[in-house]
Structure 1
Amino acid sequence: MIYKFEVLITPFQLSRTIHLYLPDNYEESDERYPVIYMYDGHNLFRDQDATYGKSWGMETFLNNYDKPFIVVGMECNHEGQKRLDEYCPYEVENAYFGKIQGQGKPFMQWVVDELKPYIDTHYRTIPFRECTMIGGSSMGGLMALYTVIKHNDIFSKAACLSSAIGFCFHELQDELNQANLQSDTKIYMDWGSEESRHKRGLAYATSQNLEMSHQLVLRGAQTYPHLIINGKHNEATWEKQIPIFMDYLWK
């Protein structure tokens, strides 16, 4: 079951849609559920809501998966370049996009301080970190990685698909150098072989992801770095990774 409701992102004083997945038997049960928080939540469930007309098909997957979840999909800001600003933790200059304002930290704090408490109050969640995951793709994957590093006390798992870590790779390294991740932390990270225009770009993405994975392991986490052969930077590719990261993170 998919429900939509509006929330106020107080740091920005902006209204935003939440795309909420509940198990089909939620109303007939008193069971409590682990929770998955996802950036770019409008792309998860229904093609008609997705930016490019193709969703991850995550509703169909979860309806047939052998473990039930609540999924909280946070819609992004669709205005101009605001998504990049909200989904980048640092103020950076990019050769293609120019200056990115770096509003990721206050957005993440809103998720931790306001959205999660709201979900835990209004729905039957298992609120503990062991049962709480963060995820996303592209800039959302970057934010998922940043979130699990900064708030490992809240999130024990992260799915970081085609993460845009190249926007702020050295800043993330500095962040990670100050972190101590709990030993049960599990992070899935992937990148597609067809995301880059040339072999040099693929080599660069591979090097960055493997180095980040190595640094995460040194700080105490478990990782699953995954190069997707013929993988592209789109929802069709990310949909195919759902069973892989779900099994790795939850089983």
Structure 2
Amino acid sequence: MDAEALHYTCRENALFGSFTIVAQYPPEDQFKEETAALDRTPRLHRYAGFRSRHLPGDREIFVYLPPQYFEQPERRFATLYLHDGQNLIDPRTSHIPGQTWRAHSTADQLTAAGQIESLILVGIFHAGVRRITEYTPSSDPQLGGGEGENYARFLVEELKPFVDSRYRTLPGTEHTGLGGSSLGGLISLWTGFHFPGIFGRLAVLSPSLWWTRRSIFDDVERLSPEPKPRIWLDIGLLEGGRHVRNTAAMAALLRRKGWDGAHLRYLEEPAGTHSEEAWAARLGDVLRFLFPA
């Protein structure tokens, strides 16, 4: 593996013990007000011990409800499922403490401005050292992985029915999204193609398309999910030339297979890096495209 790919993979999880990543964490009191607001809001529901027959161990799930959920008790809502739940809303649990996607506040602001439809956010915490295993659909001889199908079945057969049964969702394909970044982007794209008719909107940010010699390209070439999901696909130009080329090639492949401007939005962000801050900065555009008002 070249140095670029190794750097990219080290960001994915902490399996590479010979590498030291130094981060300067902000004092916790800098985000004390934000976390206090999260802890007291009735719109955030946490499930700390969600169990699956497809995956080992418990994992944490959160459900974040829009303001309209309580204001309009007869209304049902679209739902967006997001991987790496640690990094989405709570600065205490994020990869670098204090740096999150700000998913809840972005969604609230865009909803209040009438730019997106009101939607429920579901965050799925990753499984720590098993993250790379669960977010990869095939096994790599050096890096392992390959349990992505089990993770996808957990989403489709267990988590989505759980959420649909407890909350006023619009359960149809056109109202259900799935998304993530890096390996989370890879497993989102793979799941959308292998489990058609479940997730009709895919947020694929900085995807790890290099995994197992770009095997995801074979999947996308071979499969034609119906109905065709709406896909947001992006990459930061500072993430490395190979990853930019891979993502541009995926956009071109999707266009050849019939994804038009209504179903595909591709972005190359000039200053984009492989980081929570970069994905947070793009999330508003992602939501506007996938869930327009």
Specify if TM > 0.5: yes
Indicate which of 198, 206, 220 corresponds to 2:258.
220
Native 8 Å contact 1:19 1:74 kept in 2: yes
Native 8 Å contact 2:101 2:279 kept in 1: yes
Indicate which of 89, 94, 100 corresponds to 1:55.
100
Equivalents in 2 of 1:194, 1:209: separation in Å? 13
Is 1:250 the counterpart of 2:288? The answer is: no
Is 1:120 the counterpart of 2:160? The answer is: no
Report what 1:199 is aligned to.
none
Indicate which of 210, 215, 232 corresponds to 1:166.
210
Equivalents in 2 of 1:21, 1:238: separation in Å? 19
Equivalents in 2 of 1:4, 1:183: separation in Å? 32
Equivalents in 1 of 2:220, 2:208: separation in Å? 16
Report what 2:46 is aligned to.
4
CA distances 1:103-151 after superposition (whole Å, capped 9, x unpaired)? 1111101100111111111110000000000000111111111111112
Native 8 Å contact 2:180 2:203 kept in 1: yes
Query: Unaligned stretches of 5+ in structure 1?
Result: 197-201
Native 8 Å contact 2:137 2:146 kept in 1: yes
Map residues 127-166 of structure 1 onto 2, 5 A cutoff.
Answer: 127-166=171-210
Q: Which amino acid aligns with 2:50?
A: V
CA distances 1:53-83 after superposition (whole Å, capped 9, x unpaired)? 11101111112222211111100011x3x11
Which has a greater percent of strand?
1
* Post-superposition offset of 1:184: 4.6
Equivalents in 1 of 2:70, 2:56: separation in Å? 32
RMSD: 1.5
TM-score by length of 2: 0.77
Report what 2:270 is aligned to.
229
Query: Which has the larger displacement, 16-25 or 113-122?
Result: 16-25
Report what 1:91 is aligned to.
139
Equivalents in 2 of 1:207, 1:248: separation in Å? 23
Native 8 Å contact 1:180 1:220 kept in 2: no
SS at match of 1:89: coil
Native 8 Å contact 1:183 1:220 kept in 2: no
Q: Which runs of 4+ in 1 moved over 4 A?
A: none
Equivalents in 1 of 2:46, 2:81: separation in Å? 14
Q: Which amino acid aligns with 1:237?
A: A
Native 8 Å contact 1:76 1:83 kept in 2: yes
Q: Which amino acid aligns with 2:79?
A: V
Q: Which amino acid aligns with 1:239?
A: A
SS at match of 2:137: coil
Report what 1:26 is aligned to.
69
Query: Unaligned stretches of 5+ in structure 2?
Result: 1-42, 112-116
CA, structure 1 residues 226+14, in 2 after alignment: closer, same or farther (shift >3 Å)? Answer: same
**Identity, % of aligned positions:** 26
TM-score by length of 1: 0.90
Equivalents in 1 of 2:165, 2:227: separation in Å? 28
Equivalents in 1 of 2:218, 2:184: separation in Å? 20
Indicate which of 182, 206, 210 corresponds to 2:248.
210
Equivalents in 1 of 2:94, 2:74: separation in Å? 32
Equivalents in 2 of 1:249, 1:75: separation in Å? 22
SS at match of 1:23: coil
Q: Which amino acid aligns with 2:46?
A: K
